[in-house]
């Protein structure tokens, strides 16, 4: 049996026909998805903090709930190995801070593309290579949000390598001094119509295009940067629940296509 070095499981550990994966930065979220939102939740591996679980969608199709860790470099390793074990659709389920005032805490953002400020993405494709989600998977995610009655927004995310400097945080950071190119970034992104900050989608979308898998992302809004740098701890549970429910419903529809 061949188990991949970082994810700790191999194709032999998966139910036949497993081609869909949910990807979360937080291992607790990955486990919660498998045990609370899917049927037949079971552990696949607990390895290097990249815990992975398996479950079954309402359609009866199997799915992996994998952990990416925080940021694009770690995520790129996990995604590469997921593709090696046969995964052909990856939906990132995460959290995000809104840049637009109308994108409220508790709602979800579904990424159709990403403004990508990530070094890892440059190892996948050049800067000018578009970072876009699978359009049909994006529509499936938006349709799921509509069916569920969840407040949602579809558009461009900003993907960064750092949580503090890269997202222009100074008041809540140990480093109040930003390099020149980061100053005024939030105002610039706001004027460009970018919806929110996060740390993985840009690289994930490029990997999907280059590797040949369907990539999508749905994130719960846990901070409104027009109001505060800090996440709103009173709304995190609701935002994450909304993102998970949208992803599961979309994956269920997606997996029934054939």
Residues known to be catalytic? 6, 81, 169, 225
* Angle made by CA atoms 138, 139, 144, in degrees to the nearest 5: 100
Question: Alpha-carbon distance 216 to 22, whole Å?
Answer: 10
- Give the other-Cβ count within 10 Å of 84's Cβ: 13
Question: Alpha-carbon distance 238 to 244, whole Å?
Answer: 10
Question: Alpha-carbon distance 159 to 25, whole Å?
Answer: 14
Contact call for residues 157 and 96 (beta carbons, < 8 A): yes
Structure tokens at 51: 């815990």
Closest C-alpha to 177, from 186, 185, 168: 168
Residue 223: strand, helix, or coil:
strand
Question: Alpha-carbon distance 83 to 63, whole Å?
Answer: 13
- Give the other-Cβ count within 10 Å of 147's Cβ: 12
Q: Which contiguous run of DSSP H or E holds residue 111?
A: strand 108-117
Closest C-alpha to 182, from 197, 195, 193: 197
């Amino acid at each position: 049996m061949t188990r991949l070095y970082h994810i700790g499981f191999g194709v032999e550990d998966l139910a036949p026909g497993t081609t869909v994966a949910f990807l979360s930065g937080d291992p607790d979220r990955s486990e919660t998805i498998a045990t609370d939102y899917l049927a037949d939740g079971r552990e696949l591996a607990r390895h290097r903090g990249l815990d992975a679980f398996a479950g079954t969608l309402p359609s009866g199709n199997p799915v992996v709930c994998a952990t990416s860790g925080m940021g694009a470099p770690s995520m790129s390793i996990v995604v590469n190995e997921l593709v090696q074990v046969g995964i052909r659709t990856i939906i990132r389920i995460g959290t995000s801070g809104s840049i637009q005032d109308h994108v409220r805490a508790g709602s979800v953002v579904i990424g159709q593309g990403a403004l990508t400020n990530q070094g890892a993405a440059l190892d996948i494709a050049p800067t000018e290579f578009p970072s876009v989600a699978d359009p049909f998977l994006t529509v499936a995610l938006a349709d799921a949000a509509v069916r569920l009655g969840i407040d949602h927004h579809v558009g461009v995310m900003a993907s960064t390598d750092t949580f503090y400097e890269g997202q222009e945080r100074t008041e809540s950071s140990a480093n109040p001094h930003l390099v020149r190119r980061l100053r005024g970034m939030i105002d610039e992104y706001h004027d460009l119509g970018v919806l929110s900050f996060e740390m993985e989608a840009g690289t994930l979308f490029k990997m999907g295009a280059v590797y040949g898998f369907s990539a999508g992302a749905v994130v719960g809004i846990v901070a409104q940067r027009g109001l505060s740098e800090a996440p709103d701890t009173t709304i995190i549970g609701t935002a994450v629940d909304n993102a998970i429910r949208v992803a599961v419903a979309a994956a269920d529809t997606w997996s029934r296509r054939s």
